[in-house]
């Protein structure tokens, strides 16, 4: 059986948030020193392919997210709404493009999932959203070969 090596700082556990069953989680950034060759920005978790698994971090603080963004050599945005892209540009200090293309997870892709904790009444309410209204999680896509 070929096994995926779990990166330092991750541990195996049950992933109730995403409904994906067993996953591995990031303990903290201080245990994780790897640079991100590519960091994908998403509004929601995209399930892995049939033979894939996903590692999901616990919720991250904005300062942890900024550290992740700093470690990224390349950022690829799949943020589908212009107002959300503008908000993230302001919060993260990097230009976040609006992109409505479909994201297809690849093994060893890292993604930063940014989602609202609650649904907005009207789309224009995004201008009143603060970092406290957002949840950030780091995701690692991987393949599983039994």
> Residue 43 has what DSSP assignment?
S
Mean pLDDT computed over 32-56: 81
pLDDT tens-place string over residues 11-39: 444 444 444 444 555 555 555 556 788 99
Distance, CA of 41 to CA of 88 (rounded, Å): 10
Q: Regarding predicted confidence, which is higher, 146 or 81?
A: 81
CB 115 within 8 A of CB 24: no
> Are residues 13 and 23 in contact, defined by beta-carbon separation less than 8 angstroms?
yes
pLDDT value for 133: 84
* CATH number of the domain residue 87 falls in: 3.40.50.11170
Residue 57 resides in a domain = yes
Distance (Å, whole) CA 123 – CA 81: 10
Inside any domain, residue 97: yes
Q: Minimal CA–CA distance to 143: which of 69, 81, 52?
A: 52
In a domain, 73, yes or no: yes
Domain of 106?
35-143
Write out pLDDT tens, residues 115-133: 888 887 777 777 777 788 8
pLDDT of residue 1: 33
Whether the predicted pLDDT of 87 surpasses 50: yes
- What share of the chain has pLDDT > 70, as a percent? 73
**21 domain residue, yes or no:** no
Q: Give a yes or no: residue 136 inside a domain.
A: yes
Considering its fold, how many domains does the chain have in total? 1
Asked if residue 123 belongs to a domain, the reply is yes
pLDDT band at residue 3 under the 50/70/90 scheme: very low
Evaluate if residue 98 carries a pLDDT over 60.
yes
d(CA 25, CA 85): 26
């Amino acid at each position: 059986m070929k096994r995926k090596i779990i990166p330092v700082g991750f541990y195996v556990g049950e992933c109730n948030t995403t409904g994906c069953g067993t996953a591995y989680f990031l303990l903290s950034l201080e245990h994780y020193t790897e640079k991100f060759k590519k960091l994908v920005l998403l509004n929601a978790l995209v399930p892995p392919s049939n033979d894939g698994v996903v590692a999901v971090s616990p919720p991250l603080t904005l300062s942890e997210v900024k550290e992740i963004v700093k470690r990224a050599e390349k950022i690829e945005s799949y943020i589908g709404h212009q107002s959300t892209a503008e908000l993230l540009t302001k919060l993260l200090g990097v230009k976040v493009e609006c992109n409505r293309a479909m994201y297809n997870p690849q093994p060893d892709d890292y993604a930063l999932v940014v989602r609202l904790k609650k649904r907005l009444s009207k789309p224009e309410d995004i201008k009143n959203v603060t970092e406290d209204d957002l949840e950030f999680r780091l995701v690692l896509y991987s393949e599983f070969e039994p």
